[in-house]
Amino acid sequence: MALIVQKYGGTSVGSVERILAVAEKVKSWHDRGNQVVVVVSAMSGETNRLIELAREINPDPSPREMDVLLSTGEQVTIALLAMALHRLGVDARSYTGGQVHIRTDSAHSKARIMEIDGTRVRADLEAGRVVVVAGFQGVDENGAITTLGRGGSDTTAVAMAAALKADECQIYTDVDGVYTTDPRVEPKARRLARITFEEMLEMASSGSKVLQIRSVEFAGKYNVPLRVLSSFEEGEGTLITLDEDDDVEQAKISGIAFSRDEAKLTIRGVPDHPGVAYQILGPIGEANIEVDMIVQNIGKDDTTDFTFTVHRNDLPRAEEILRNIAGKLGAREVETDGEIAKIALVGVGMRSHAGIASAMFKALAEKNINIQMISTSEIKISVIVEEIYLELAVRTLHEAFGLDKDR
């Protein structure tokens, strides 16, 4: 008998029929003797309907009241799923975030979970009940309703699993697992049976949208085995766990993530002196623009060239700030490029295998793909290339590192 936390997203509970199908799935786990906690999102479309209603009332609604409004979406789903389970003869009880004491900070619309009191849930599980919990929401120390932001239901599930010391946290979604890369770009992409938290984090931060970064961090921190699987098909999905060193013949590379959301800014001919990097990036940070990759080159005549990337949506604001800075610093020019892509090779095997980077650069060079920027971490190598080469680069690397072959 295992204690399992399952999470079903908005699409999985998007209609009466789908809620009944989820109830069948939950029942089958429960029937096999497992203790089951189910975390659900709002029915798909519901959150947008409520947001639209709010905007009609007030174009700039208060985050506190938005949370009161949006949290009703999940509350509807928990009641309906509990009713569906009752119909199948399964004893079940629903709880809002506040009712199971999912305590968060007070950052409305993007709150963080501080603690969960699992007492009530445990009592229900002991009594043989399925517990249905509203995802995405909690209460702050004053009892005000908070939400964790979009995708927060994954975090609720993982936090619930950590608090209950669950054996597994299952995230049901519309894909059947984590792939070596996006199958829409590389049809030979394969589903991974396992991946480590670290790899999953690097995949997510480099553009793979399967899971929210925060939920993976959380799962890693509390060592909650996380499984991604499909709501609509049978299958084992992908299990995300700690790195297990004794795995024989560990793969060098697990996957290739990529992102088209990048833009590049370059400031050329900046008179070089200590502190120049801060003078350039300080104002960008103050404007709440996140900087991803940074490269600085010494130019000619004691000047330096400085290049960095931001989210493509932030490019116009970043450019304005940078032109202002360029004037003050006496820089020669500012260049921007919104047509770039980031490609990241991810794998814990990198740690112990030299030559991954050179093999990557060689494979890209053979296809005449120019690398504009490079950044490395312990288990990831990211490169920036011209956007038109994205698909070619992903397929090239997928083959070069043997990701299309069963291991």
CB atoms closer than 10 angstroms to residue 78: 25
Q: How far is the CB of 126 from its own copies (least distance, A)?
A: 16
Among 6, 12, 94, 205, binds its own copies (CB under 8 A): 94
86 touching its own copies, by CB under 8 A: yes
Q: Which residue, 107 or 213, is less far from its own copies as judged by CB?
A: 107
Among 93, 103, 129, 342, binds its own copies (CB under 8 A): 93
Q: Which residue, 18 or 264, is less far from its own copies as judged by CB?
A: 18
Nearest-5° Cα angle at 385, 310 to 207: 55
Q: How far is the CB of 74 from its own copies (least distance, A)?
A: 9
96 touching its own copies, by CB under 8 A: yes
Give me 216's structure tokens.
């993976």
Residues in contact with 158: Cβ distance below 8 Å, sequence separation at least 6, in sequence order:
5, 169, 215, 218, 219, 222, 224, 226
Among 5, 36, 84, 267, binds its own copies (CB under 8 A): 84
Give the helix/strand (H/E) hosting 302.
none
Q: What does the alpha-carbon distance between residue 23 and residue 121 come to, in Å, rounded to a whole number?
A: 18
Binding mask 35-74 for its own copies (x = CB under 8 A): ---------------x--xx-xxx--xx-xxx-xx-xx--
| Cβ–Cβ < 8 Å for 263, 309 | yes
145 touching its own copies, by CB under 8 A: yes
Among 11, 29, 51, 99, binds its own copies (CB under 8 A): 99
Q: How far is the CB of 35 from its own copies (least distance, A)?
A: 20
DSSP letters along 180-239, please?
A: SS-TTT-TT--B-SEEEHHHHHHHHHTT--SS-HHHHHHHHHTT--EEEEESSS-S--EE
CB atoms closer than 10 angstroms to residue 160: 26
Among 5, 37, 78, 228, binds its own copies (CB under 8 A): 78
Q: Which residue, 69 or 340, is less far from its own copies as judged by CB?
A: 69
Among 3, 51, 79, 291, binds its own copies (CB under 8 A): 79
Q: Which stretch binds its own copies (CB under 8 A): 28-36, 76-84, 292-300, 331-339?
A: 76-84
Q: How many residues bind to its own copies according to rule CB under 8 A?
A: 36
Q: Which residue, 79 or 400, is less far from its own copies as judged by CB?
A: 79
Q: Which residue, 119 or 223, is less far from its own copies as judged by CB?
A: 119
The CB-based long-range contact list for 155-158 (8 Å cut-off, 24+ gap) reads 155/113, 155/212, 155/214, 155/215, 155/218, 156/7, 156/39, 156/97, 156/102, 156/113, 157/5, 157/6, 157/7, 157/39, 157/215, 158/5, 158/215, 158/218, 158/219, 158/222, 158/224, 158/226
Residue in the structure block whose two tokens are 């964790």: 148
242 touching its own copies, by CB under 8 A: no
123 touching its own copies, by CB under 8 A: no
Q: What is the DSSP letter of 12?
A: T
26 touching its own copies, by CB under 8 A: no
Binding mask 4-23 for its own copies (x = CB under 8 A): ------------x--xx---
125 touching its own copies, by CB under 8 A: no
Q: What does the alpha-carbon distance between residue 214 and residue 290 come to, in Å, rounded to a whole number?
A: 17
Q: Which residue, 99 or 230, is less far from its own copies as judged by CB?
A: 99
Q: How far is the CB of 44 from its own copies (least distance, A)?
A: 14
Q: How far is the CB of 31 from its own copies (least distance, A)?
A: 19
Residues in contact with 159: Cβ distance below 8 Å, sequence separation at least 6, in sequence order:
102, 113, 116, 218
345 touching its own copies, by CB under 8 A: no
Q: How far is the CB of 117 from its own copies (least distance, A)?
A: 12
Q: How far is the CB of 75 from its own copies (least distance, A)?
A: 5
Residues in contact with 282: Cβ distance below 8 Å, sequence separation at least 6, in sequence order:
none
CB atoms closer than 10 angstroms to residue 151: 17
User: Binding residues for its own copies, per CB under 8 A?
Assistant: 16, 19-20, 50, 53-54, 56-58, 61-62, 64-66, 68-69, 71-72, 75-76, 78-80, 82-84, 86-87, 93-94, 96, 98-99, 143-145
